[in-house]
Structure 1
């Protein structure tokens, strides 16, 4: 049996799983449906109290004039880019080289909308003000992802965000927020969602990542922008006859977890400290700026998979079930803290890290 299967199986059978909210099975939807009346009317093609009330609720939370519920963030963000490009009459946008639109969407922005991306900054760091100011190409929109997931969830300072926002407004460049994990970064910035979103012309948030819903997204901005997004949603096939399973789930877990982000952030910082005590391990960032971060090992993927699987089997603490290879001698995985973390006895967690460190040291000596 391959090591990756051993690690995955060990994690699935761990007494405690460190990350996330728990298994993403049908109970995620069942629990949400149990919280609403069976007489609740469905939405129909984007209309009805259930979708319209939720859209108003999220628009107010984000401090935007209007909001539209989408079945996916991929659809919402491509449409946002298209609208801003059409308004300016220029099909060119700027974003980070590891932006979701660039690496996870099969070139949807280019193939469906014929929009040309301008890649800003080195892929190993976040976008800075100088990157924006020194752009050689003229663009209709700049997209910023907060946090930048592919590099450990790093964030610019709030002062930098303000400066980029001011520059874009002075230059007539629309600023869009890929805020899939917006709610998770609010404790670090010590700002409300509306305060952060006030720096942006449009914003997208996800309901299945840190919030743990089954799927769905909100796209928010000015009224004319969101009205046009509804037309594009229909064109993309996203205006389903009803979206209520996604909406009910999104609303339920939004209310359930919106006030837990401080706790998740504290847990992430605590867990990162434990990882950074281990031989040949470092987190990115060293000090997390949200509930997510990456854990890097200076050892081969096969060796680390074996060590992690053994640690899980001996302690019952599941640190991860997946590893990604950087090189022959390095690998990493992503951590995202949710409800699971608070359920783990602190002493058991510390003992797991003592054992992990011991095994890593033994590997270094061998």
Structure 2
């Protein structure tokens, strides 16, 4: 007897999201062809880390790059550097930025940096939000895509205008590009073309490409040199980071070129969800490989429906839901390699079943 959505998802024959289970096999696959005599990096130096940093700097179109064990560490350090440079401990970002809602006030508690939130929680930051700021800031952070609102994106023209405004007014522009690779197909740009608009860039290696952990912070040489000092202060220079670096390189090579496929699959899958009774996606048409699926019903009711559909069809839609109110809930979809493994007829049948149960069990 299946009692939870997680259990139903785990027992399903197919899963629609992600690349696969995050188990030790992910690391074993990355190391399968690695020479066991390869020298480790040591406290941030050595060929294995320096080569990868140079590779990422070139990919992002920046002078230098440094590997961090986490994006949280990298971004707090980036903003601290820009604040120190201007002598102003204040930055601006979206109210649903990772730094605002997931980092236990790290900027404020560790660096005494004050924050200005721009726009509201339902939309991305626009040029008018930046140009109408009443307070001076050292740096503006833009997250592409804006995860907490379904992966929404500003237009590329908006990015260009914001970049131009910031440079004219002495505001550093930092890119929270944890999912930068995933938005390139929508913008139809190279990573370097997007990063050219920013003074510093962060890229994650476990989100879209499915590595173990780790991040790159890139920018001009002076900025990166300062970030290395802060990395040491944070304890980020582990004696060796090669398990993260080698897995990051492996999965970057394996998956970075697949982002256009994931993007097209996300649009197709969102269409299936939007065809079902009282189900909507945000955005309606995805702009990356991710989107949110919303239901105007309590979490417990939707869980019951999803468990039944998974049991009948063998298709795992998702493993958990989040409530947004007493009578509403949603889940996040992130498309990876798994979606291609599901036969199209199986997908279509699963959504026919989902539509039927939504109509029969939860009519509005």
Same fold (TM over 0.5): yes
Q: Does 1:276 align with 2:281?
A: no
Alignment partner for residue 64 of structure 2, among 60, 63, 66?
66
The alignment covers a number of residue pairs equal to 364
1:201-212 matches, within 5 Å, as 201-212=199-210
Maintained 8 Å contact 1:291/1:336 = yes
Residues 78 and 362 of structure 1: is their aligned pair in 2 closer, same or farther, counting only changes over 3 Å? same
In the other structure, the counterpart of 1:24 is 22
Query: Secondary structure at the residue paired with 1:74?
Result: helix
The alignment's C-alpha RMSD in Å is: 1.0
Q: 1:307 and 1:41 mapped to 2: Cα distance? A: 52
Task: Name the structure 2 match of 1:299.
Answer: 297
The residue correspondences of 1:34-73 to structure 2 (distance < 5 A) are 34-73=32-71
Secondary structure of the corresponding residue to residue 281 of structure 2: strand
Scaled by the length of structure 2, the TM-score of the pair is 0.99
2:73 corresponding residue in structure 1? 75
Q: Is the 8 A contact 1:68 1:220 kept in 2?
A: yes
Q: Offset of 1:39 from its aligned partner?
A: 1.0
Among residues 231, 234, 237, which one is paired with 2:232 in the alignment? 234
Moved more, 172-181 or 320-329: 320-329
Q: How far apart are 1:128 and its partner, in Å?
A: 0.5
Rounded to whole Å, the distance in 2 between the matches of 1:202 and 1:365 is: 49
Kept after mapping to 2: 8 A contact 1:280/1:299: no
The question of 1:192 aligning with 2:190 is answered yes
Gaps of 5+ in 2: none
Pick the aligned partner of 1:343 from 338, 341, 344. Answer: 341
Matched residue SS, 2:272: helix
Structure 1 residue 328: deviation in Å?
1.5
Question: Match of 1:349, SS?
Answer: helix
Look up the match of 1:117.
115
- How far is 1:327 from its partner? 1.1
Q: Is the Cα–Cα contact under 8 Å of residues 301 and 329 in structure 1 kept in the other structure?
A: yes
CA distances 1:86-118 after superposition (whole Å, capped 9, x unpaired): 000000000000000000000001000000010
1:153-181 C-alpha deviation (Å, 9 max, x unpaired): 00000000000000000000000000000
* Shift in Å, 1:299: 1.1
Distance 2:228 2:72 in 1: 15
Q: Do the aligned partners of residues 365 and 109 (structure 1) sit closer, same or farther apart at CA in structure 2, a change above 3 Å counting?
A: closer
Residues 172 and 291 from structure 1, CA distance in 2 versus in 1: closer, same or farther, beyond 3 angstroms? same
Partner of 2:166: 168
Structure 2 CA distance, aligned partners of 1:22 and 1:179? Answer: 23
Q: Does 1:322 align with 2:320?
A: yes
Show the counterpart of 1:214.
212
Once the two structures are TM-superposed, the CA of residue 35 in structure 1 deviates from its matched residue by 2.3
Partner Cα distance (1:53, 1:33) in 2: 17
**Could you tell me how far apart the structure 1 residues matched to 2:15 and 2:110 are?**
40
Q: Retained in 2: the 8 A contact 1:268–1:288?
A: yes
